[in-house]
Structure 1
Amino acid sequence: MKPIYALLVLISLFATACQDMRQEVEPESLTQVEKKLVLIGFISPQDTIIAVKVGVTRPIADANYTSNYGTVKNAIVTLSTGGQSIQLTYNGKNDCYQADPKKFPIRAGAAYQLTAQTPEGMNASGSCTIPQATRLQQVRLDSSEDANSEKHYFVRYFWQDAAKTSNYYQTNGLFVYTKSCPTCKTDANAKVKSENQPILFESMGQLNTLLSDKAKDGDKLESYHGYLDQGTVSQASTQKLTFSTRYDRATVRATLLNVDEAYYKYHQALELQKKAEGNPFAEPVLLPSTITGGLGCFAGYNQSSLTLTLK
């Protein structure tokens, strides 16, 4: 067979295959997929507001996507536990359904059920159990230098894991500091700059706040490195600033969340999605769902906090 003729045969076969693929997918059928409610809610005993977002899915190729997709504003959303319940009301400013926890306290060890129903007949529900709080025992300041002699300051959290049970955690925190600012325009002569920044926890060069006690059940656990103030001070500087000389005052407000498995897996999938964003070669990451009759995640957590004054 001549090369040119063989190439034409391959092109013809490829075109036929593509035509067959186009015929296998009927665009009209994509718009007939049943819409579902999407519930997103995370509750804890430390809530100042109980908040749940309610949305609706949009079928692929839906020509009316602007009206068929988005927040559901007319649903009946109910949270219940132990024979008691409260109806959440829609708050247009926050774009979610809310309730006052003073009227319906969230308690550790209790099981909660969330239900949502629309006038059109869509229903969805979810349930969770609030974990016990795990006491954050210690926050420690440390530092390291990179190849460019730049010093990075970070904190580590320490706590005792409860034995014989699977536990999942998330670390959060806020770094609050003041330092001299000669270029700042203030009324005071001192000219100090006050700021607060989230603590950036990293694992193997990637942002990561989630941990589990897998293979370390019952041990004393340690967080990933949580970097402060973007963590960089040049040791090559003629001033050779140390942590003590750089800040006038510095405080870490540390928080340890003991989360349930649903919370852990959902946020873990969100982190994987962020890492894969913009990468055409990355495998798609599906968000796990704990919602019956719909999609989304309803989960619980409990937290403990510790404030450490560094200077």
Structure 2
Amino acid sequence: MKVIPVLSALLLSIYFLWGCGSLRNEVDPGALGAETAKLVVSSFLSPQDTLLTVKVARSRTVVGDSIGGLIDGDNIADATVILSEGGRSVRLRYESDGQPYYSISASQLSIVAGKTYSLSVQTTTGERATSSCTIPGPVSINTVTFDSLASGRSQRYFVRARWQDPIGLTNYYQTAGVFRFVLNCKSCAQDQPDQEEFSGLSFDDDNRGLFSDAGIDGSSMISGRAYLNGANLPTGDQPAGFFNQYKRAQATINLFSVDQAYYQYWSAVIRQRRTRGNPFAEPVLIPSNIQGGLGCFAGYNNATIVLRLK
């Protein structure tokens, strides 16, 4: 047995591994030339809104405190935020109570399909961000179907929506919804008032409810399955069958007709979330239509249908 060549190879490997450790050096963060923070603006306008809102924050640079994401200090509360259309303009006020955003009643500036709206954000330090969007027209839901799918020894119940895509136009869509229900609890006190609960509907198509009519213009379109997850009763207190589990149940389905900026922004966000922190995943750049900053200012139109199940 030739021991010397094997021993030499082992020592050579240890030498290279030792050398790799010396490649790690401390770097002064100041030498990285990190970009300055930018304004981050997000707002989505719809004719169905009762409140117009705009979120204004400041981005964090790559180099910084590792726990910076836990500090609520990025919201900007003293900016001048203006929404305008044609010759009308309104200034939004910052609401410190509850959600930190700028808002105003939709009665102060009507949101109308086909019209273009402009957004202007000016900070006290001289930063300025602008954008504009045009509100799409509505597209109605034709039908919502209720069905089930065998899953092991049980059935999973779901709803899905169908609609007709207008021909000759470039259209983008987002499906969403909510499942509202009152559980049929056999062990609950009879005099206890019914408590309505709800859960959001998550569609199982490839893009999580986002659609484009590219290549299928003018066709009949169908959403993915949105499973109705609601029954959460103690073991032994769960009636058999979907309809026996609820006193009342209904699914509200929303079909958002969205503009291109909305579609591109949320498509990128969905792709980024799929990486789940995987360091080998391809980076996803989040598009922005904010001049002088980052974020998304977009319009959508909401069509709703309610399916009463019980």
TM-score when normalising by structure 2: 0.84
Change (3 A) 1:123 1:199: same
Structure 1 residue 297, shift from structure 2 partner: 0.8
Change (3 A) 1:102 1:10: same
**Of 33, 39, 42, which aligns to 2:41?**
39
Change (3 A) 1:200 1:68: closer
Per the alignment, in what secondary structure is the counterpart of residue 127 of structure 1?
Answer: strand
Change (3 A) 1:41 1:230: same
The 8 Å contact of residues 141 and 303 in structure 2, kept in 1 or not, is answered as yes
Structure 1 Cα separation of the partners of residues 198 and 140 of structure 2: 24
The 8 Å contact of residues 200 and 228 in structure 1, kept in 2 or not, is answered as no
Per the alignment, in what secondary structure is the counterpart of residue 267 of structure 1?
Answer: helix
More moved, 179-188 vs 65-74: 65-74
Residue deviations 1:104-151 (CA, integer Å, cap 9, x gap): 0111111111111111111111111110010111111111102x1210
Per the alignment, in what secondary structure is the counterpart of residue 200 of structure 1?
Answer: coil
Change (3 A) 1:193 1:105: closer
Long gaps (5+) in structure 1: none
The 8 Å contact of residues 164 and 218 in structure 1, kept in 2 or not, is answered as yes
TM-score when normalising by structure 1: 0.84
Per the alignment, in what secondary structure is the counterpart of residue 214 of structure 2?
Answer: coil
1:155 corresponds to: 159
Structure 1 residue 289, shift from structure 2 partner: 1.1
Residue deviations 1:259-281 (CA, integer Å, cap 9, x gap): 11111121122222332224344
**Of 180, 183, 190, which aligns to 2:187?**
183
Per the alignment, in what secondary structure is the counterpart of residue 270 of structure 1?
Answer: helix
Structure 1 residue 213, shift from structure 2 partner: 1.4
Structure 1 Cα separation of the partners of residues 308 and 219 of structure 2: 27
The one-letter amino acid paired with 1:110 is: K
Long gaps (5+) in structure 2: none
Per the alignment, in what secondary structure is the counterpart of residue 159 of structure 2?
Answer: strand
Aligned length: 298
The 8 Å contact of residues 265 and 288 in structure 1, kept in 2 or not, is answered as yes
Per the alignment, in what secondary structure is the counterpart of residue 294 of structure 2?
Answer: strand
Structure 1 residue 162, shift from structure 2 partner: 1.1
Per the alignment, in what secondary structure is the counterpart of residue 170 of structure 2?
Answer: coil
Structure 1 Cα separation of the partners of residues 49 and 195 of structure 2: 31
Structure 2 Cα separation of the partners of residues 181 and 56 of structure 1: 48
2:264 corresponds to: 265
Cα RMSD (Å) of the superposition?
3.1
Change (3 A) 1:4 1:150: closer
Residue deviations 1:218-255 (CA, integer Å, cap 9, x gap): 001111011112589xxxx9x99333444333222211
**Of 112, 119, 139, which aligns to 1:114?**
119
Residues 198-237 of structure 1: pairs in structure 2 closer than 5 A: 198-203=200-205, 208-229=208-229
Structure 1 residue 57, shift from structure 2 partner: 1.8
1:74 corresponds to: 78
The 8 Å contact of residues 165 and 217 in structure 2, kept in 1 or not, is answered as yes
1:299 corresponds to: 298
Structure 2 Cα separation of the partners of residues 142 and 8 of structure 1: 62
Residue deviations 1:83-110 (CA, integer Å, cap 9, x gap): 2111111111220011111010111111
Structure 2 Cα separation of the partners of residues 163 and 293 of structure 1: 36
The 8 Å contact of residues 152 and 231 in structure 1, kept in 2 or not, is answered as no
Structure 1 Cα separation of the partners of residues 125 and 165 of structure 2: 46
Structure 1 Cα separation of the partners of residues 135 and 225 of structure 2: 27
Change (3 A) 1:4 1:195: closer
1:144 corresponds to: 149
Structure 1 residue 8, shift from structure 2 partner: 6.9
Structure 1 Cα separation of the partners of residues 145 and 231 of structure 2: 15
